[in-house]
Amino acid sequence: MTDKIENSFKDFLTCLQMAKLYGASHPITLKSTEKAYFSLQDALADRQELVIGIIGAELAFEKEIFFDLSKFLNQPITYLKSRGIERIVFSRGFELGELNKFIGFLALPKEEIKGDPQESLVLSGIRSISVGKVKGSPGYGKSGRLEGLNSYQASLDQISPSLTKMMNNEAVDGLSLKLAVNNIVNNLGVYYDQLFELATLKRYDTGTFIHLLNVSILSMHFSSKLGFSKDVITDIGISALFHDIGKLYISRKTIRKPGQLSAQEFKQMESHTVFGAKLLMRYVEAIGIMPIVVCFEHHLKHDLSGYPKSVFKNKQHIVSAIVSICDVYDALSQRRSYKTDYPPDMIHGLMMRGSGTSFDPDLLNSFFKSIGVWPIGSILLLSDKRVGVVAEENEANIFLPKVRIIHPQNNGEIIDLKENKEGIKIERYLSPWSEGKEFLHLV
């Protein structure tokens, strides 16, 4: 099925290229338009309409984003976007004549297209093809990219409706969700430092979805370091986003309760895995199977000593194992009512104790290689009494990152703690909520 759709997209965008090169009425263009007409008809055989979406630089159809195809069709995609067209809908029964007119319209010089493109189509008698903007793609601002820290909030704004809808038992738009997560992947590439700092260190807000977004960001960062392809990373991000969906149903009182939980409360808490997986089953069409697996398995642990108990002794799926590590990391680094802050080196120590039992040892090592013991943005007091902020990890020694000095002089000096001849060491971590607060504006 997808092949048919891909072919029709390809043929359509190819005939647009021909029209731009030779003009809309040239025989070569007409031939190419005819080819596109038949492949679009073919794709429409079992549906009422065919919607081509352009999100960022990607082509999309329903919940599918065609990353590979997008690479080859970069030019026509950019061209359509420059004309404010992000969505083209072909309705069943459209005619070849309409397609010819439509291609002619698209190939017009930009200056000749005035007003709303959809109105122009209606005026020229094209009834079965319409154009517009993609709903729910606010992630791309005027500059084409979100700006640094805003992207965190924007990501939150974009994923929140899907999560709320699930909580209310309403339908979820799989494509919008995939796009929102895809936006985070794109922004991770550009604003990695800022997004990552927010996900690991500088978080003051502990809103309901923050943990889900952070685990999603951490999981996508980690899986990109593991070498997964972009579309797999998007699926991992979506899976991480829903890992605790079952928890949102459990009484807040239980979740935030300081101290020991009663046996009954504990059972209720554990049920979020099974409960969440069952809930996600209703959305399998929109989000796929992976989130269900991850939701079910994320507390299972590497040695299967966790929950839910199962008669099957299958080990955790690798995506569940990735999400488990990021889940525990975020839970330990979050400021909660019932615990004081753990400095990053203590979190590393605590998690390493679970190597081989809670976590797959190789995966855990790779995780800390990818973020270091001191994540980027950590504020550190050095042994020479200067204050620095972690600027870059050293994969060869995760304890000794590169640090940018910010106090008493903030002149951009970088010290590689692994290489420095003066023997400067880390004295201690300065939490952004206490001692580190006064240096935050310099970070």
Per-residue HEC secondary structure of 376-394 comes to: CCCEEEECCCCEEEEEECC
Q: Are 413 and 404 in contact (CB under 8 A)?
A: yes
Query: In this structure, how many other beta carbons lie within 10 angstroms of the beta carbon of residue 91?
Result: 16
| Cα–Cα distance, 49 to 91 (Å, whole number) | 4
Q: Can you read off the two tokens belonging to residue 51?
A: 């919607």
Q: In angstroms, give the least distance from the CB of 181 to Fe ion.
A: 17
Query: In this structure, how many other beta carbons lie within 10 angstroms of the beta carbon of residue 366?
Result: 15
Which residues 245-274 are close enough to bind Fe ion by CB under 5 A?
Answer: none
Among 164-172, 221-229, 242-250, 407-415, the segment contacting Fe ion (CB under 5 A): 242-250
Is the Cβ of residue 301 or residue 386 nearer to Fe ion in the bound state? 301
- Mark 314-343 with x for binding to Fe ion (rule: CB under 5 A) and - for no binding: -------------x----------------
Is the Cβ of residue 86 or residue 244 nearer to Fe ion in the bound state? 244
Q: Are 88 and 129 in contact (CB under 8 A)?
A: yes
Q: In angstroms, give the least distance from the CB of 299 to Fe ion.
A: 6
Is the Cβ of residue 98 or residue 327 nearer to Fe ion in the bound state? 327
First CA to last CA distance, the chain = 50
| Cα–Cα distance, 18 to 7 (Å, whole number) | 16
- Mark 56-95 with x for binding to Fe ion (rule: CB under 5 A) and - for no binding: ----------------------------------------
Q: Can you read off the two tokens belonging to residue 164?
A: 């709320």
- DSSP secondary structure code for residue 413 in this structure: -
Is the Cβ of residue 149 or residue 304 nearer to Fe ion in the bound state? 304
Q: In angstroms, give the least distance from the CB of 250 to Fe ion.
A: 10
Q: Which of 11, 235, 244, 360 binds Fe ion (CB under 5 A)?
A: 244
Among 239-247, 280-288, 353-361, 369-377, the segment contacting Fe ion (CB under 5 A): 239-247
Is the Cβ of residue 58 or residue 244 nearer to Fe ion in the bound state? 244
- Mark 202-221 with x for binding to Fe ion (rule: CB under 5 A) and - for no binding: --------------------
Is the Cβ of residue 327 or residue 393 nearer to Fe ion in the bound state? 327
Q: Is 297 in the site for Fe ion (CB under 5 A)?
A: no
Q: How would DSSP label each residue in 265-327? A: HHHHHHTHHHHHHHHHHTTHHHH-SHHHHHHHHTTS-TTS-SSS--SS-PPPPHHHHHHHHHH
Q: In angstroms, give the least distance from the CB of 317 to Fe ion.
A: 15
Q: In angstroms, give the least distance from the CB of 150 to Fe ion.
A: 25
Instruction: For residue 54, give the H/E element and its range.
Output: strand 49-55
Is the Cβ of residue 215 or residue 426 nearer to Fe ion in the bound state? 215
Q: In angstroms, give the least distance from the CB of 245 to Fe ion.
A: 9
Is the Cβ of residue 86 or residue 270 nearer to Fe ion in the bound state? 270
Among 59-67, 236-244, 250-258, 306-314, the segment contacting Fe ion (CB under 5 A): 236-244
* Backbone region of residue 146 per phi and psi (left: phi > 0; alpha: psi in -120 to 50; beta: other values): beta
- Count Cα neighbours of 201 within 13 Å in the Cβ-side half-sphere: 28
Please give the residue ranges that form the binding site for Fe ion (CB under 5 A): 244, 327
